[in-house]
Amino acid sequence: MRTGASASAILCAAVSAFAQPAPGYPAHWWTPVPAESAASWEILPQAAKPGQVILSKRNELGILSNLAATPFTLRGQRYASVEGFWQMMLYPEGPRDPRALAPGIVWPHTCEEVGG
């Protein structure tokens, strides 16, 4: 009987045989990661199919994620990330915004709180 850790290592090795690095790119982009160390939302490098790469936050590719901590300023407003900006656009911009006036909808945060 194998332990969970050794079974995971065997699975990572087997999957890595399919997710091979593309010529000219760093091999660590495809290095398998033990599943037990992954967050519930994380897609691991070994999930890449031939010709694909996963934008893992475990290496420099994470900067390309909309969830990456990439603060920026647009029209005088500071955003913590592209995702923060995107989510902010869902919220009313003030009390006269039609979204704020919709009956039955409670907005627990302001767009500034969400975007920042």
57/98 same-domain check: no
Residues 59 and 80 in one domain: no
> In the chain, how many domains are there?
2
Higher pLDDT, 9 or 24: 24
Amino acid code (one letter) for 101: L
Check whether residue 53 and residue 85 sit in a common domain.
no
Do residues 9 and 47 share a domain?
A: yes
> Which of 63, 84, 102 delimits the end of a domain?
63
Q: Round to whole Å and give the CA distance between 58 and 45.
A: 9
Question: Is 19 in the same domain as 59?
Answer: yes
- Domain identity same for 41 and 77: no
Return the pLDDT at 16: 45
Residue 30 has what pLDDT?
A: 82
Of residues 20 and 62, more confidently modeled: 62
Provide the whole-model pTM: 0.55
Whether the pLDDT of residue 38 is over 50: the answer is yes
Chain centroid to Cα 61, Å, comes to 11
Per-residue exposure over 61-83, b if at least 16 CB sit within 10 Å of its own CB, e if not: beeeeeebebeeeeeeeebbbeb
Give the domain extent around 87. Answer: 72-115
Do residues 11 and 40 share a domain? yes
